[in-house]
Amino acid sequence: MKTETKTMLEVSGLGHRYGGANGHQAIADLTFQVRTGELACIVGPSGCGKSTMLRSISGLIKPTSGKVQLNGSPVNGVPEDLAVVFQDYSRSLFPWLSVRSNVEFPLRSRGVSKAERRERADEVLEWVGLSAAAKKYPWQLSGGMQQRVSIARALACRPALLLMDEPFASVDAQTRFELEDLLLRVRKQFDSTVLLVTHDIDESIYLADRVFVLSKSPASVVADLEIPLGDERDQITTRESETFVHLRSEVARLLDVRTAAAPKPEAAEAPEPEAEAATPEAEADEKPAEAAADSAAESDVDEQTSDADEKSADDAEKSTAKQWAEAEQAEAAETAKRN
């Protein structure tokens, strides 16, 4: 996809240290830009500080140095025109809300009307192939389907920038390929700007217009590579192409050279927990009597379910607000200690 020359995201001298002046330096002097309409990938070794960087960019944590600008405005707190898709889909969805209500949830706090929430949710669920699962609950879906719900929820907010923190790391290889292709399709449909973090070299090259290669912790940018693979990509011919193989070797070389030069080896990260076994996606055949059920009765059930979801969403919103308030108080206390 051709990108515009306008800069959407600008990261300058970004650094973050945990635990005060003598604490762990997770990232150091990160500087890069993401252009409007671009899909950029950040690739680096496990434990290098990629997630810390993403949380700093999204406004979830305040970096100890440097600055982040989105469309020319400083990021202080989470911007409304930004959305995040996390790796752990099982913890990012409310299990007591239906798929549709999970997608609608962030729109409630933005004052979007009920009718528009429903319209947006149905649109993005169609694009991620989950229209038939709108009334189901997350625990009734496979891991790949749950992550599709997370992506749909982010897209429903119509963000200027979509941040993705290793979004496909917790699914099997086949599902990962399907989700990668889904991202390319919806990114093109919604003309989205995406910044995706991964430690998978092949994934970064397959998805991106540009790849930023990070060093070991504390992370800094060691290379900014353009990816000239064109708009149309597929899992077989693209990955077998000479350009892809060359770029993969180049990124691997950069990571290996940087790793070899590191004075202190990093402790190996604990493996990611395996996703829980998913409920089979196939639905049971409907009985003839169910197929002939009165449509008015079905409408009443839908309305009751919708009302129940609304109440559950209200309770979840209050709980989320309380958690944010507690987090802000804790951060304020930590800041006071540093000062």
Q: At what angle do helices 99-108 and 295-338 cross, to 10 degrees?
A: 50
Confidence of residue 290 (pLDDT cuts 50, 70, 90): very low
E-assigned strand segments in 186-299: 193-198, 210-214, 221-226
pLDDT at 161 over 50: yes
pLDDT at 1 over 70: no
pLDDT at 223 over 90: yes
**What are the pLDDT digits (tens) for 74-87?**
998 888 889 999 88
Residues 77 and 180 both lie in one domain: yes
Residues 40 and 97 both lie in one domain: no
pTM more than 0.75: no
Region 296-312: what's the mean pLDDT?
52
227 within a domain of the structure (yes/no): yes
Q: Which domain holds residue 232?
A: 1-81+170-201+211-260
269 within a domain of the structure (yes/no): no
Confidence of residue 3 (pLDDT cuts 50, 70, 90): very low
Residues 176 and 30 both lie in one domain: yes
Q: In a 3-state reduction of DSSP, which class is residue 299? A: helix
Looking up residue 76, the CATH number of its domain turns out to be 3.40.50.300
Nearest to 161 by CA among 103, 50, 84: 84
272 within a domain of the structure (yes/no): no
Nearest to 234 by CA among 224, 244, 226, 249: 244
Tokens of 285: 């055949």
**What are the pLDDT digits (tens) for 31-65?**
999 999 999 999 988 888 888 899 999 999 999 99
Query: What is the CA 40 to chain-centroid distance, rounded?
Result: 13
Residues 107 and 182 both lie in one domain: no
314 within a domain of the structure (yes/no): no
Residues 196 and 59 both lie in one domain: yes
Residues 219 and 255 both lie in one domain: yes
pLDDT of residue 319: 55
pLDDT at 93 over 60: yes
Residues 140 and 182 both lie in one domain: no
Nearest to 134 by CA among 97, 108, 85, 186: 97
Residues 100 and 133 both lie in one domain: yes
Report the number of distinct structural domains present in the chain. 2
Q: Select the more confidently predicted residue: 294 or 326.
A: 326
Token pair 């290793």 is found at: 166
Whole-number mean pLDDT of the chain? 80
Q: Pairing between strand 73-74 and 65-70?
A: antiparallel
Residues 180 and 137 both lie in one domain: no
**What are the pLDDT digits (tens) for 275-287?**
444 444 434 444 4
pLDDT at 116 over 90: yes
Residues 40 and 147 both lie in one domain: no
pLDDT of residue 320: 53
Q: Check whether the bond before 159 is cis (ω within 30° of 0).
A: no
Residues 96 and 242 both lie in one domain: no
Which residue stretches of 214-294 are H helix? 237-240, 242-261, 288-291
279 within a domain of the structure (yes/no): no
241 within a domain of the structure (yes/no): yes
Residues 180 and 67 both lie in one domain: yes
